[in-house]
Structure 1
Amino acid sequence: MLSRSTRSMVTFSNDFMIGESLREFPAGTYEILVEEELLQGLSFEAYRRTGTYLMVQGRGSNAGQTTMHMTTQEDLEHAMACDRALSETNKHSEAALSPQEDMT
């Protein structure tokens, strides 16, 4: 089965939570990894998303470590919308995804 990975960056201006996780992540720039698989048997090329991950760099005693937190596109977009709303209230910059980079 053929698969591809794309990476993008998202910047949060405020501390945030994503999905049902009770963990709060600090404001900053985070890498997003999206994994997709090629759908076979179609007359055109199409991919299905198999995973979305928030890459979190370790801090303090965990510096140098990276963890992958599985999430969904919907949860990611919701976290970004919440950050945008809070930023507008606090007059900070908006969170935004950078264009995806195809890593196949």
Structure 2
Amino acid sequence: MANRTTQAIVHFKNAFLLPGFDKPQPAGEYRVDHDEEPIEGVSRLAWHRVGSFIHLPGIGVKMSTHQMVPINAADLDAALEKDNKTS
């Protein structure tokens, strides 16, 4: 069975900084891709996340360059949780 990519939109109310970023990113909505592979040998179909990427800049921001940056999904979850607590 082939790998798959799922997409999500995340929303930050405040500027945020993920490990490996040079500078904070502004508040807004960002597209995130999660690459997953099937887990073999289970009776039901299950998927294991093998990579996550955030698209920069955020949705609706006009820039001449766009990039897809690898991130750790746990770091993204922690940043989103921190953002929710500060609002």
TM tier, smaller: 0.7 to 0.9
Matched letter for residue 40 of structure 2: Q
Query: 2-side partners of 1:82 and 1:40: how far apart?
Result: 35
- Structure 1 segments unaligned to the other structure (5+ residues): 88-104
**TM-score normalised by the chain length of structure 2:** 0.82
- Distance of 2:84 and 2:19 partners within structure 1: 16
The whole-number CA distance in structure 1 between the counterparts of 2:12 and 2:41 is 40
Aligned partners of 1:86 and 1:22: how far apart in 2?
Answer: 22
Aligned-residue identity in percent: 29
Larger radius of gyration: 1
TM-score (norm 1): 0.70
- 5+ residue gaps in structure 2? none
1:72, CA displacement in angstroms? 1.7
Q: How far apart are residue 64 of structure 1 and its match? A: 3.9
- 3-state SS of the aligned residue for 2:7? strand
Q: Which residue of structure 2 lines up, in the alignment, with residue 57 of structure 1? A: 57
Aligned alpha-carbon RMSD (Å): 2.0
State whether structure 2 residue 85 is matched by structure 1 residue 85: yes
In the alignment, the residues of structure 1 paired with residue 15 and residue 76 of structure 2 have an alpha-carbon distance, to the nearest angstrom, of 14
